Amino acid sequence: MIPPSFAYHRPKSVNEAVALLADLGEDARPLAGGHTLIPMMKLRLAAPEHLVDLAAIAELKGIRQDGNDLLIGAMATQHELIASDLVAAKVPLLREAALLIADPQVRYVGTIGGNVANGDPGNDLPAVMMCLNAVYHAIGKGGAQQLAAREFYRSVYSTALEASEIVTAVRIPLPPPGHGSAYEKLKRKIGDYATAAAAVVLTRSGDRIATCSIGLTNVAETPLWAEEAGKILVGSTLDGATVKKAIAAAEAITSPASDRRGPAHYRTKMAGVMLARALARAYAHAA
């Protein structure tokens, strides 16, 4: 289907983009890779009168280390995350999750900013960001602010961003050397969104888990940070009884819809299975 007509704007700076979005108000939407927004416009599920394309804004690009953090420009593509040696060395979880997004054609164009700002619980990076305790840098007509990923998601397509605000960068505190991580995603076929997925980052002290953070994708109206499940695992050797308790705690916070990916009960159980697999791999990788 052809999308409704719209005016196209291509600002060269963040300030220009923010001014445009503030002036144009509710009728304008930022455009990043367009791999969610354009299909939604074609399906007439979105009909913005103005698109403010962020593609020409150099400030929004790049991936670099900033002290003990990884700082990723909102317009870095998912392919750039996968190709980055820095990401592979310091935050392998991010590379692993990005590799499971859609297919190479989507990843060449889809951006990290679009993926985290979109507010779709089916997107893979939001739960990963919650697991990593990332912070989103945002700017709008009210000025700049930093928003914790763990508090960002309100409901389906609803986030803490104001209408005129854009995400400019994602800041990820580097997990300590020797940490283990894994992202396990169940999908019906290559290129599909998750039926359920789990992200884990943990550290070990000898055989015991010292810290553990867990994110869950597409099993509620928002991505989830399974705080209680992570706490249960701390101090354990990943023994069967403790894993069972942690999985029960993670499953208890899910509330997936029944849809063509399966009934709600099945998707909750698959979140548990993905979590068990991710925990085992992360534990094995941790030093």
| Contacts with ligand FAD, residue ranges (CB under 6 A) | 29-37, 39, 54, 74, 101-102, 106, 110-111, 113-115, 117-118, 123-125, 161, 166-167, 191, 193
CB nearer to ligand FAD: pick between 77 and 203: 77
Closest CB 112 distance from ligand FAD, rounded Å: 8
Sheet holding 143-148, edge to edge: 63-66, 69-73, 166-173, 135-140, 143-148
CB nearer to ligand FAD: pick between 46 and 264: 46
CB nearer to ligand FAD: pick between 108 and 176: 108
CB nearer to ligand FAD: pick between 171 and 204: 171
Closest CB 141 distance from ligand FAD, rounded Å: 14
Nearest Cα residue to 168 out of 133, 149, 132, 144: 144
User: Which tokens hold the place of 29?
Assistant: 């939407």
Closest CB 77 distance from ligand FAD, rounded Å: 8
CB nearer to ligand FAD: pick between 183 and 283: 183
With a CB cutoff of 8 Å and minimum separation 6, the contacts of 151 are 160
Closest CB 212 distance from ligand FAD, rounded Å: 23
Closest CB 274 distance from ligand FAD, rounded Å: 14
With a CB cutoff of 8 Å and minimum separation 6, the contacts of 68 are 173, 174
SS3 176: coil
CB 183 within 8 A of CB 170: no
